[in-house]
Amino acid sequence: MNSLLVADTVSKKFGDFTALNDVSITVPEGSIFGLLGPNGAGKTTLIRIINQITMPDTGSVTLGGEPLQQHHIRDIGYMPEERGLYKSMKVGEQVLYLAQLKGMSKAEAKTRAKHWFEKLEIGDWWGKKIQELSKGQAQKIQFVVTVMHQPKLLIFDEPFSGFDPINANLIKDEILQLRDEGATVIFSTHRMESVEELCDHIALINKSNKILDGEINTIKRAYQNNTFDIGVQVVDETAFAKAQQQLASSFKVTPAQFKSLGNEHKLRVEMGDNGTPNELLSTLQTYGQVTHFVEVIPSVNDIFIQTVSQNK
Amino acid sequence: MTFLSPLILVGMILLISYLTQLNSEDKRTIVVVDESGQFETVFFNTDKTSYVNLSDQGLDAGKEVAKDDAYYGLIHISKNPETATNPVTFYGNETPSFDYIGDIEDRIEKRITDQNLVAQGINLTVLETAKSTIDINIENFSGESSSKMSNWVKAGFGGAAGYLLMMFIIIYGNMVMRSVIEEKTNRIIEVIISSVKPFQLMMGKILGTTLAGITQFAIWVLVGGVLLVVLTAFFGVDPSAATAVNPAASQAQQIAQDPNMMIELLQEVQKLPLLQLVGGFFIYFIGGYFLYSSIYAAIGAAVDNETDTQQFMLPIIMPLMLAIYVGFFAVIDNPHGTVATVFSIIPLTSPIVMLMRIPFEVPLWQIILSITLLIATFVFTVWFGSKIYRVGILMYGKKPTYKDLIKWLKY
């Protein structure tokens, strides 16, 4: 797969504060790339460098193989975390103005805007002022402004904050459709669970350093630990207690948390390299009815916490 | 608002001139008690003041009359005004105006002086005819004559242009600053700045505001002028009454009333270096405005809200005030003196000071030097401003200091 955007050892300092320290990322074309990390990690700084709002101290960024240049702003659609529009300007005029700033002709902008307004069913907002709209409605306009010039690269900083669940879903579907039409998407967020399901690639940033990146399934596979949540409806309590001790001697066994209707024993068993799920299952069968047997796939959040604590 | 403002302005002017007329139409009556008997002819009735002579009734009776009839006041002159310590006293409920007291003093002084002169055996009519007035004719070496009037006209032109520029800078510079702050508070700035360069944004803002400002200014002047003429004719109110208190304005009025002086005035206007004046006006007006509004924009970029701008206003207001003062004192006193010359070359003050000097014919090299410096400084401030812009627009919630601004330059 071709890479659309490559940031190579990018560093940025503000005075004594290092915002980014030799961060490199590669965003494959047509992917949804998650830029994840806690608040203040440096995600927004990296995005601003990609948008040419700030310049890196060292390192380089290329888009489609070319070093970033002024004309590349037309290929990027950016929805910043701090969203805003001119409050006393009419929706239609504003959308056309911002599209023209991105290099579209007025006629072209008008056609595209009409298309989006119909698609999102907001056609009757055209002549309204932004201050007459609700916050969620204004966010929709912001989304239209971001995607209207059909950019190759879409960057969303904290995309779903401020959207109600219905609109968040609507926007999510639109983004997925844009991806299917060929756009590459970068999501930046500190709420990792919110975009985990959408991303196929991620990079984790913590305290100005990139600590992990790659394809999300590869990463998860690397962090999966042969761990299963099990539920057993036990027949013989004393025998099971003995079996539990036996399990604990070879594996890490902790109480598991999952929802069930019965009063079965709930355990989380980390087998590592010492066993297979089949062996575990056949052992458990002998003590009673197995009601629950699910592999625990590490969440990005778990991976993040684990990586950060390892790096300390 | 653009069309309403001149209406309001004209309304204000008419109201003020009407009120001024009303105020001075108040007629006063004053009792005179002159115990010396020398000043009877001094107090003659005028439009605004009439006098009642009660010298034969004495001071106390006079006071009673003045009080009972609610007269404005009483003037008492003692028996031997030449020797008494306080020969003249004014009694009244309120303190009379300086103008009025000065007028009375002048009259009494003149009478006493005349009496002294007569006592010394001097014939007053001879003295009067011996008096002479001189008008110095000023010519340059190539034979072109000018007059004091020409200095008046030049100072008037320069002063008006300089003052206009200062007003324009303050009003529309602030507009640039507010529009920058507005984009910051609206949080749209990050969207904009990811589409255009800060330098472009800043230049566009300054240019756009300038054009909007010039349009608005032109509308004000046109609508205001037309309205003033129409309303003046309609209501018969004299707008210059509002300014008549000012001696300079009353001189202008005098000029306007004298047809010979009017012709001289027009001749002087024609003799001005009009081409240089108009060209200079445009260059310095635009250059000066650009320079200041780029500073305004940088301030807007550095702060979060308008209250925080106060600390940065000094570098704008100081040179502006300095330029105006230097212009009105140094330039009019001596247009080619060292102070005037230096300040007309230093960029921050040059637009106003040079505008005021141009009617007095400035050497070409000075104009070229000052324009070059002005343009160079303008480009530098826009660069400096867009640096601050780049960092400042994305900084929220922090009130920056001058030290921070210097630090931002390095980011």
Single out the residue of B160, B361, B336, B352 nearest to residue B248, CA to CA: B160
Query: Residue B194 in 3-state DSSP?
Result: coil
Contact A165/B at CB under 8 A: no
Give the ranges where B25-85 is alpha helix by DSSP (H): 59-68
Cβ of B191 and A70 within 8 Å? no
Contact B397/A at CB under 8 A: no
| β-bridge pairing A184-189 and A32-36 | parallel
Q: In whole angstroms, give the CA distance from residue A77 to residue B129.
A: 91
Contact A78/B at CB under 8 A: yes
Single out the residue of A311, A298, A83, A58 nearest to residue A205, CA to CA: A311
Contact A69/B at CB under 8 A: no
- Chain A residues close to B189, C-beta within 8 Å: 84
Note the pLDDT tens digit of each residue in A91-122.
999 999 999 998 899 999 999 999 999 988 88
Single out the residue of A260, A273, A213, A251 nearest to residue A232, CA to CA: A260
Note the pLDDT tens digit of each residue in B75-115.
888 887 777 778 888 888 878 878 788 888 888 888 888 88
Average pLDDT, chain A: 87
Comparing CB atoms, the residue among A52, A80, A86 nearest residue B190 is A80
Residues in Cβ contact with B81 at an 8 Å cutoff, skipping those fewer than 6 apart: B36, B38, B87, B88, B108, B112
Distance, in angstroms, between A132 CA and closest chain B CA?
A: 15
- Chain A residues close to B195, C-beta within 8 Å: 73, 98, 101-102
- Chain B residues close to A82, C-beta within 8 Å: 187, 190, 396
Q: Which two tokens stand for residue A260?
A: 């069930």
Residues in Cβ contact with B68 at an 8 Å cutoff, skipping those fewer than 6 apart: none
CB of A268 closer than 8 Å to CB of A296: yes
Query: Which residues of chain B register pLDDT less than 70?
Result: 1-2, 23-26, 142-149, 231-232, 234-273, 393-399, 408-411
Query: Rounded mean pLDDT of A300-311?
Result: 82
| Residues in A 92-131 with any Cβ partner in B closer than 8 A | 98, 101-102
Query: Rounded mean pLDDT of A4-16?
Result: 88
Comparing CB atoms, the residue among B188, B194, B410 nearest residue A86 is B188
Residues in Cβ contact with B17 at an 8 Å cutoff, skipping those fewer than 6 apart: B237, B238, B239, B240, B241, B242
* Sequence letter at residue A282: S
| Residue in this structure with the two tokens 């004495």, named with its chain if needed | B58
User: What pLDDT is attached to residue B146?
Assistant: 60
Cβ of A82 and B187 within 8 Å? yes
Note the pLDDT tens digit of each residue in A219-264.
888 888 888 888 888 878 888 888 888 888 888 888 888 888 878 8
Mutation site for A-interface testing, chosen from B181, B183, B195 by largest number of A Cβ within 10 Å: B195
Q: In whole angstroms, give the CA distance from residue A190 to residue B83.
A: 97
- Chain A residues close to B396, C-beta within 8 Å: 82
Q: Which two tokens stand for residue B74?
A: 């009483």
Q: Which two tokens stand for residue B264?
A: 């001289």
Comparing CB atoms, the residue among B190, B196, B410 nearest residue A101 is B196
What is the dihedral sign for C-alpha A25, A27, A31, A35?
positive
Single out the residue of B119, B115, B118 nearest to residue B38, CA to CA: B115
Phi, psi torsion values for B99, nearest 5 degrees: -55, -45
Please state, in angstroms and as integers, the Cα–Cα distance from residue A311 to each residue in A34, A55, A191, A209, A304, following that order: 21, 29, 21, 11, 11
Q: Which two tokens stand for residue B158?
A: 């320069």
Comparing CB atoms, the residue among A82, A86, A102 nearest residue B190 is A82
Comparing CB atoms, the residue among B187, B194, B391 nearest residue A51 is B194
| β-bridge pairing A32-36 and A201-206 | parallel
Closest-CA residue of B relative to A103 is B195
- Tell how far CA B34 is from the center of its chain: 43
Note the pLDDT tens digit of each residue in B394-406.
665 566 777 777 7
Is residue B361 packed enough to be buried (19+ CB in 10 Å), middle (13-18) or exposed (0-12)? middle
Quick one: which H or E segment has residue B101?
Answer: helix B98-119
Cβ of A53 and B190 within 8 Å? yes
Query: Residue A161 in 3-state DSSP?
Result: coil
Residues in Cβ contact with A272 at an 8 Å cutoff, skipping those fewer than 6 apart: A225, A226, A251, A252
Comparing CB atoms, the residue among A15, A76, A86 nearest residue B186 is A86
Q: In whole angstroms, give the CA distance from residue B310 to residue B307.
A: 6
Is residue A95 packed enough to be buried (19+ CB in 10 Å), middle (13-18) or exposed (0-12)? buried
Cβ of B194 and A84 within 8 Å? no
Contact B48/A at CB under 8 A: no
Full DSSP string of A235-302: S-HHHHHHHHHHHHHHSEEEE-----SS--EEEEEE-TTS--HHHHHHHHHTTEEEEEEEE-PPPHHH
Q: In whole angstroms, give the CA distance from residue A202 to residue A187.
A: 9
Q: Annotate B272-283 with b (16+ C-beta within 10 A) or e (fewer).
A: beeeebeebbeb
Size of interface A-B (CB pairs under 8 A): 54
User: What pLDDT is attached to residue B399?
Assistant: 65
Q: Does pTM surpass 0.90? A: no
Please state the domain extents for chain B.
27-129, 147-409
- Tell how far CA B103 is from the center of its chain: 26
Comparing CB atoms, the residue among A76, A80, A85 nearest residue B186 is A85
Single out the residue of B393, B405, B185, B170 nearest to residue B311, CA to CA: B405
User: What pLDDT is attached to residue B193?
Assistant: 84
Cβ of B194 and A78 within 8 Å? yes
User: What pLDDT is attached to residue B9?
Assistant: 75
Q: Does domain B27-129 have CATH number 3.10.290.20?
A: no
User: What pLDDT is attached to residue A180?
Assistant: 93
- Structural domains in chain A plus CATH codes: 3-221 (3.40.50.300), 225-296 (3.30.70)
Mutation site for A-interface testing, chosen from B190, B199, B200, B401 by largest number of A Cβ within 10 Å: B190
User: What pLDDT is attached to residue B270?
Assistant: 67
Cα-based torsion angle of the residue sequence B212, B214, B215, B219 in order, rounded to the nearest 10 degrees: 140
Comparing CB atoms, the residue among A48, A52, A98 nearest residue B191 is A98
Least confident of A77-81, A126-130, A281-285: A281-285
Closest-CA residue of A relative to B184 is A84
